[in-house]
A and B are shown apart, each in its own frame.
Chain A
Amino acid sequence: MNFKGFKKLTQNFTLPLPKTLGKMELDSIFAQLEKRHPKGEDPWGLNLSKSRESVRLTYPFYKHYFQVRVIGAEKVQDVPYMVVSNHSGQIAIDGMLITGAFILDVNPPRILRSMVERFVSSIPFFGAFAAANGAVLGDRSNCEHLLRKGESILVFPEGVRGVSKSTNEYYQLQYFTQGFFRQCLRSGTDILPIAVIGAEEFYPFVYQARGLAKKLGLPALPLNPFFLLGLLGAIPLPSPVDVVIGDPYPIPKDLSPDAPDKIINDHVLKIETVIKKLIADGREKRRRFWGSHLLPSAKETHGPY
């Protein structure tokens, strides 16, 4: 179906949820985004009109289903950032919610360019959808070009290890790779640490069959008892999500991007510590939802339960 057909089909369609995003509000947000992206499309596949439709259609999920709350939005300045986040939730819903947060709840709005795994762009429909909404193949060249263009990048330095955790590992930050920090050194871009709380409970009981996944050549193989319900089991639980934004981490100006691992690791560990603290703070303030008293990871406030 071409875009016009899709637009026609969806223009009068609103989900039966409390409140949709007003046209005025949407216009105002996208007027600002059009200033950043005057051509409407960019070489990485961003498409503002499709992005607008995505925001309009997913707003009820964002605002009412996952009840996204952004804490610390005032810390975001009108400069490009490398946004560094923890990763959770088995599938990259957290990435979409962060992207939504930076469009809807951060001023001025911006479309974060999420660095995604190689296989994402080969997934039919989803690859094109992700690219139209700002996702970019996570490689060095793309990152360099986008930072040079003044775009903000979203990275999950935990990678697949972060998103594919078993229940007993929830809220445990996996080790960060160094690549994002070296890219920031190359471009002189500051880092914006953030934490997402609540995404772990989208699928609360998961066992990652890592050995079997390796044998099958898959990046992860989450086994979830809810999957016995078929497609219904794939629907994430309505766990309220908090996006907690930390203070920008200024990139050292006197450090070479080719500095030895040991020096880079010191900085990366500092950023990990900041994000661990944001996770701990966020879990203290987290909201309950029906049934959450049954979920061990949502009951406890600090560290892995």
Chain B
Amino acid sequence: MALTDINSILIIGMAGGLAKITAGLLLKEYPNATITGVDSRETDQFLKDSRIKYQRMKYTRSNYEKLFRNNRFDAVLHLGRMSHSGSNPRAHLAERLDLNVMGTNRVLELSLHFEVKKVIIMSTYHVYGAFSDNSTFIKEDALLRASLHYPDLRDVVEMDQLASNWMWKYQHQIETLVLRPCSVIGPQIRNTMTQYLTAPYMPVPMDFNPMVQFIHEFDMASVIVHSLKYVPTGIYNVATDQCMSIGEAKRTIGVASIPIPVFLLEQAAKLINRTFWSVPEYLIDYLKYPCIISNEELKKHLPANFFKFSIEEGLALIKQT
């Protein structure tokens, strides 16, 4: 049944590009609703709409409790997963574990306690891991193997598993959705893949060329808004029907690529991490082996021709920025 009676929405991770687009779309869908956006980061630009309240806060238990006590949220969108974009990914693992795992747990507990109608948790396709023996079109019930090779991805996997376990345990009390999108790209997104694709000179593996999936930020935001209203409790991969090889993606964007073998790329990534900017080591595996997810489950709940942007259009848009 469609969830239409929504008056108050909490968005966690509001300083992110995807959250801002989602907020805009939510206000179109629910014109009478108010949105409370929270983030631990500063944000310079914002939607100038009186229905959106932005609050910068530390993700602590007391801050969350205060937030939930003072607002009666109908829906909570947890888009605030901390990613590996710091200067040294390993140094931030403890912080990420606390924020992503413990933080998600706090949000879920409070959502249940304060009778939120629906919670959407934004996970990632990285949870499946990039392996040479990955099937093409990984389904939602596949094993989450990402942290087998990279302890750096432990927080991502644990957050997903925590949310999934929670979802099934309390499915009769609260509707919970776990979304596992492929790489989200767009002018407002600054995730690791977008940074990689738009870097002016970026090493690309010459000995591997896996297929990859991208979803445009607007399509991703549309999926979140549609899910809030129509998609029932469950875990859903989010991807369009299109795939592209990583080499083709680089060519489409047109940035200069430096082809080098993967074993050198791994060493280069370590060096770069220490000196210039962050290329998480785990990303190398996603440039080496495919991790193509199946969108069959989600498509059962989407109208036909739901996605508006092709991969080429999405890549062209990040090229312009």
By a beta-carbon cutoff of 8 Å, the part of chain A in contact with chain B is: 1-4, 41-45, 47, 118-119, 121-122, 124-125, 127-128, 131-132, 136-137, 139, 141-142, 145
List the B side residues contacting A127 at CB < 8 Å: 132, 208
Q: Known pairs A3-B251, A137-B132, A139-B135; list 19 more (Cβ under 8 Å).
A: A1-B206, A1-B259, A2-B247, A2-B257, A42-B243, A44-B136, A44-B211, A45-B210, A45-B211, A45-B245, A45-B290, A118-B132, A121-B289, A125-B206, A127-B132, A128-B207, A137-B133, A137-B134, A142-B136
How many residues of B are in contact with the other chain, CB < 8 A? Answer: 28
Q: Are A124 and B261 in contact (CB under 8 A)?
A: yes
**What would 27 A/B residue contacts be, using CB atoms closer than 8 Å?**
A2-B204, A2-B251, A3-B247, A3-B251, A4-B251, A41-B243, A41-B245, A41-B248, A43-B243, A44-B136, A45-B211, A47-B245, A118-B132, A121-B132, A122-B289, A124-B207, A124-B208, A127-B208, A128-B207, A131-B209, A132-B209, A137-B134, A137-B135, A137-B136, A141-B135, A141-B136, A142-B136
Q: Are B259 and A145 in contact (CB under 8 A)?
A: no
Q: List which B38-77 residues lie within 8 A (CB) of chain A.
A: none
**Cα–Cα, bound, A45→B134 (Å):** 13
> What residue of chain A has the Cβ atom nearest to residue B262's Cβ?
A124
Report the 6 A-B pairs with minimum CB-CB distance, sorted nearest first.
A124-B207, A122-B132, A141-B135, A43-B243, A118-B133, A121-B132
Q: Which residue of A lies closest to B133 (CB)?
A: A118
CA–CA, A139 and B138, complex, Å: 12
Docked-complex contact B248 and A145, CB < 8 angstroms: no
Bound-state Cα–Cα, A125 to B263, Å: 12
Tell me how far the C-beta of B288 lies from the nearest C-beta in chain A, rounded to whole angstroms.
8
Chain A residues within 8 Å of B245, by CB: 41, 45, 47
Residues of A within 8 A of B244 (CB): 41
Chain B interface main SS type: loop
Task: Judge whether A43 and B292 touch: CB under 8 Å.
Answer: yes
Q: Which of A4, A43, A122, A124 contacts B211 (CB 8 A)?
A: A43
Contact of A145 among B134, B137, B207, B250 (CB under 8 A): B137
Please determine whether B259 and A2 come into contact, CB atoms closer than 8 angstroms: yes
A45: which B residues are within 8 A, CB to CB? Answer: 209-211, 245, 290
Give 1 or 0 for each of B198-227: 1 = CB within 8 Å of chain A CB: 000000101111110000000000000000
Q: How far is the CB of A221 from chain B (nearest CB, A)?
A: 21
Interchain nearest-CB distance for B258 vs A (Å): 10
Query: How far is A42 from B211 in the complex, measured between Cα atoms in Å?
Result: 8
A156 CB to closest chain B CB (Å) equals: 18
Closest chain A CB from B145 CB (angstroms):
14
Q: Return A6 CB to nearest CB of chain B, in Å.
A: 10
| A43–B137 touching, CB < 8 Å | yes
Q: Establish whether residues B262 and A43, one from each chain, have CB atoms under 8 Å apart when the complex forms.
A: no
